[in-house]
Amino acid sequence: MDVVKQHLLDHGVKPSFQRLAIMKYLMENRTHPTADIIFQDLYEQIPTLSKTTVYNTLKLLTEQGAVLTIGIDEKNARYDGNTEPHAHFRCRDCGCIHDIPVNTANEIFVEGIGELKIDEVHIYYKGYCKNCASDKN
């Protein structure tokens, strides 16, 4: 069966036309897009798509764990179809976002957390990417 459809079903999300399109987009585009970029791109193929649906769907997918919402960009939320544990880097100059292979799952076991019930960890790196760092000589 379709990988995208199966992914939604695995996370208890009924695979509607729009949900499939958005999930497929995130699985094929590992660019950590904003909701608006997803909307713009999909709107070309699906002219009946509403921006509200994109927001609603991304919220649902995040709640069900089918998608990761990333808060590394102060301006907009970014979305990631890769839910395997990993960290993120963002360039201060060009704003590009890269995956960083850190097993964030290990980070959940922390000293000195008292009685906090931690269930999620986000690690955000900031700095300059290869291109932007070389621009600065």
Partner DNA sequence: AACAGAATTGTACTCATTACAGATTTAAAA
Partner DNA sequence: TTTTAAATCTGTAATGAGTACAATTCTGTT
Contacting positions for a second copy (CB under 8 A):
69, 71-72, 74, 77, 87, 89, 91, 98, 100-102, 107-108, 110-130, 133
Whole-angstrom distance, CA of residue 19 vs CA of residue 117 = 31
The pairing of beta strand 97-100 with beta strand 87-91: antiparallel
Provide the token pair at 120. Answer: 């999620």
Smallest gap, in angstroms, from Cβ of residue 120 to DNA? 17
Smallest gap, in angstroms, from Cβ of residue 9 to a second copy? 25
Judged by DSSP in three states, 63 sits in: helix
125: contact with DNA by CB under 7 A? no
59: contact with DNA by CB under 7 A? yes
Which of 1, 44, 45, 75 binds DNA (CB under 7 A)? It is 75
Whole-angstrom distance, CA of residue 57 vs CA of residue 60 = 5
